[in-house]
Structure 1
């Protein structure tokens, strides 16, 4: 009995300890996180205890006993999975994610732990067989004295939940039990009514300028290729997995894991107040390659709402499609499995001429890691080869790295830590940059180095102190290297501004709005507002201005501001309308 109880409470204790350490990063207060986990999970454990208690009563027949125990096992398994996801990905188990990544989960687990099919089946058998035996066991509680103790515990647990306080801290999402969390974020899927959609109207003013000495016109050629403005550049976007501001001494002063990146930043254009528009790689790809904020439409899980890149397929004005009109060859390179998140199909749908992933023959000689990916070194070897093959042509290459993805491991020495993985990533970026210099790429080329999202790790206290609790979760470095311009930019910018600026660079016509800036050329203009899709509270979109942060609660027709509000009523409504406009556009997109 004691072993059984210890097994039941072990995940609760482990989660409490982890969350306590997580909260300590923000508050430097111990036991707060642990106590809040106990308070929030008490109701869930009360339900688990009740199911088990009823199953052990002698009056309950065998079929009901088995059903009660199966339900208890499922609830316990969900709790454990939620804990593992919190530890590994800094978010809760969400129903949408479970649907979205279910088909790749088996592959991912195999890759992370090096388990083959037989080993996986053995582990499943070791776990499942005892659970089946337990579920259909005839064991019951026969002593009346022992029946009273569980009843007391079951009755007391809900009282403990009264001590929960989920409003005190911005990151109290981590306190919540998995059921409460999913009920909270359920408003994200609330649909807009037909009446609301018919009445809704949102107009955004756009301002455009023509770059000095540049103009565009349609060619008379049959393919309607656009003539390039003078001084065009080949373009490489290097999207670095989980590259975050706090990892860099140059960008944050917090850690010193990226000396090569810091050196490159000091020699080129460095953006120290730059933000990712989302919290996962998919969001970064959407922002950088389509120029659209990765704010998804309300969706049920039966209308593709649980699929990757939902509503962002086949974007006509994607960066690859735009650049192809100007004669560019467009390429998408990664060492990751293109099946993950349907990335390959999405990249094709937005117009890339050439796409390759983990199954490229050149990677066969390399060791594989998560997502079946060869290390970043192999990716840069391959990318440099593509640069050489495109010599003399106009080209755009999008490079998506993998080695700095969680779980962190340095492919060279196999050390497992975030700092080791980032140091390896930094080393390979430094080497790639030097190789581009040797190939004289910068004579007519532009390299963009940018993080896809903040790492999926707890925010450091120094981050929160420096940037605030909401902005810290979106801070990533941006470097633009063109061999000519250098300097530090401290105005705020975001990932979609890269798309907007590159589009303007090749066309010679730069446009901006309050929500979309220009970070290149003579008309540099920061956006007034930046939208960030959050990974902790999926029902909340953060809005950043230079001096304030605002939160918009997603809830269909009832979408609203939460917490701090702008002083002017017109701006309050504009923030809500903008978020609604983004989501409604994807409904019809």
Structure 2
């Protein structure tokens, strides 16, 4: 009886909780989840029961398989609830080298999870006495599960925006099309190349350039950008009195995707690349291209990357070195006695002190990218005595004040300061965000620029990939824009790219696009040679060409 409760409980929980959450978008959400997930739960129970009638070796094989189906099912539910993404088995296989991050932050939650997994393992593997008498409820349950299991092979969830969450994770792993490759014939006959037009502008080299990546900063945190919570009042005030980016978009849903977009000027649309457990990009697997730190070094700026987090995570330190950063500072470069938080990071206070020290002690022209951690989910910031406090509101209020103080201390008349989010927080999209930004709510984030004492509200659509060519163009006296790139400078004549792209975190085979001509959003399905738009618009062919070009160039 206990094993039935253990197996069925998360199934019922998911139908009720996630079905209810998605009911507003799909009136069949409960049915979709019940039918599709019954295939996994039914298989789990069948393998568990079949083991009772097997020999010793087959017993442990069948029970282990049932346990894996069950644990992965729980992980998939957790990822949907907390990160709005699905479980891909390749993520687990590629995360084994980052397990130390879990162990390093081992606390009460991790302890409870570990104990639960141990108890489940014992329950699944332990041999039990097989009752000879038939149990009516077990027979009935088996008939229901197996009937639903069979129906699942014939049943197709409808094509609502939530369909990726209705399919079971086995189906997601084996039938998703994002990993399909292009044929040699398609690649050899593909002729599209992005168009770009350049014009001469006044060359205005800044003394130094500072880019602050505020982890997970989202419109709903900001009264100015989202008209909701007032959790970044000081940054809002700086944005109001300088150049606010009112239509700024992140190209991906993770920090690594943000870094890749910003520092390479390329869209983080994967093709044959390794994915990690959190859906992040394995950065070292991307080909080396022209990068912003290399360009800045050629223009006479010393490139720094400063973070409070662990540079071993996702090979970030090696990748930063590979793309041209001369000086890289991470978690290992702070005092051993410092209080540690998520990703072995020090507090944002220590991070910003380090940044200020570097700026004041190095008189050379500098290009510095600063990445914080405190505002990363689950949002830990220091309490009065330095102890970790988990609160999204407190984390943003904490970082907001410290970062605005740092900017005030380091800005000069001719420095270029860019403050932007790396991606929207992995939290539920608010109703106001949906109303204002639609499907691009997952992409639209705050950002502002401090330059030449200019006060301006920039309403042009700008994305992270536009920053590299914009900064280099400002220094060289050139403005270039076209199919893929927009141009920020000069601010009064800023140009949007023809299309904004967002690599989705919930469904990896979809890229959400918003094009300038009719402002209509649509999705592109990654499917090798058959990559296509789900909606025919005047710009959809161009958008598909850009996606295919981006992916082919990565290989």
TM-score, normalized by length of structure 1? 0.86
CA positional deviation for 1:136: 4.7
User: Is it true that 1:513 corresponds to 2:482 in the alignment?
Assistant: yes
Q: 1:34 to 1:108 in 2, by over 3 A?
A: farther
User: Is it true that 1:491 corresponds to 2:464 in the alignment?
Assistant: no
1:129-140, aligned counterparts within 5 Å?
Answer: 131-132=121-122, 134-140=124-130
1:23-422, aligned counterparts within 5 Å?
Answer: 23=22, 33-57=29-53, 60-104=54-98, 106-114=99-107, 127-128=117-118, 131-132=121-122, 134-146=124-136, 148-158=139-149, 161=152, 166-167=157-158, 169-185=160-176, 187-212=177-202, 214=203, 231-298=205-272, 308-315=282-289, 317-361=290-334, 363-391=335-363, 393-412=364-383, 414-422=388-396
C-alpha distance in 2 between matches for 1:152 and 1:455: 43
C-alpha distance in 2 between matches for 1:17 and 1:377: 42
**Aligned residues of 1:380 and 1:432 also touching (Cα < 8 A):** yes
Give the superposed CA RMSD: 2.7
Unpaired runs of 5+ residues, structure 2, are: none
C-alpha distance in 2 between matches for 1:55 and 1:241: 48
**Aligned residues of 1:278 and 1:534 also touching (Cα < 8 A):** yes
**Aligned residues of 1:269 and 1:489 also touching (Cα < 8 A):** yes
Q: 1:18 to 1:434 in 2, by over 3 A?
A: farther
Unpaired runs of 5+ residues, structure 1, are: 215-229
SS across alignment from 1:40: helix
**Aligned residues of 1:553 and 1:559 also touching (Cα < 8 A):** yes
Q: Which residue of 2 aligns with 1:584?
A: 552
CA positional deviation for 1:142: 1.4
Q: 1:155 to 1:94 in 2, by over 3 A?
A: closer
Q: 1:130 to 1:509 in 2, by over 3 A?
A: closer
C-alpha distance in 2 between matches for 1:9 and 1:321: 55
Q: 1:153 to 1:333 in 2, by over 3 A?
A: same
Task: Pick which of 375-384 and 164-173 moved more.
Answer: 164-173
Counting matched residue pairs gives 545
Q: 1:421 to 1:264 in 2, by over 3 A?
A: same
C-alpha distance in 2 between matches for 1:250 and 1:306: 29
Task: Pick which of 325-334 and 409-418 moved more.
Answer: 409-418
Decide which of 508, 515, 519 is 1:545's aligned counterpart.
515
C-alpha distance in 2 between matches for 1:255 and 1:329: 38
Q: Which residue of 1 aligns with 2:528?
A: 556
C-alpha distance in 1 between matches for 2:267 and 2:274: 20
**Aligned residues of 1:234 and 1:396 also touching (Cα < 8 A):** yes
Q: 1:424 to 1:167 in 2, by over 3 A?
A: farther
Partner deviation per Cα, 1:324-382 (whole Å, 9 max, x = no partner): 11111110000111010100000000111100100113x43431111000111111111
CA positional deviation for 1:242: 0.7
C-alpha distance in 1 between matches for 2:90 and 2:142: 35
Task: Pick which of 502-511 and 141-150 moved more.
Answer: 141-150
Partner deviation per Cα, 1:410-457 (whole Å, 9 max, x = no partner): 323644232232222222222222322xxxx23121111111111111
C-alpha distance in 2 between matches for 1:445 and 1:364: 33
**Aligned residues of 2:310 and 2:330 also touching (Cα < 8 A):** yes
TM-score, normalized by length of structure 2? 0.91
Q: 1:251 to 1:527 in 2, by over 3 A?
A: same
C-alpha distance in 1 between matches for 2:117 and 2:480: 58
**Aligned residues of 1:89 and 1:456 also touching (Cα < 8 A):** yes
C-alpha distance in 2 between matches for 1:232 and 1:145: 79
C-alpha distance in 2 between matches for 1:481 and 1:99: 43
**Aligned residues of 2:201 and 2:477 also touching (Cα < 8 A):** yes
Partner deviation per Cα, 1:460-502 (whole Å, 9 max, x = no partner): 121111111x210101111101251111111211001111210
Q: 1:102 to 1:34 in 2, by over 3 A?
A: farther
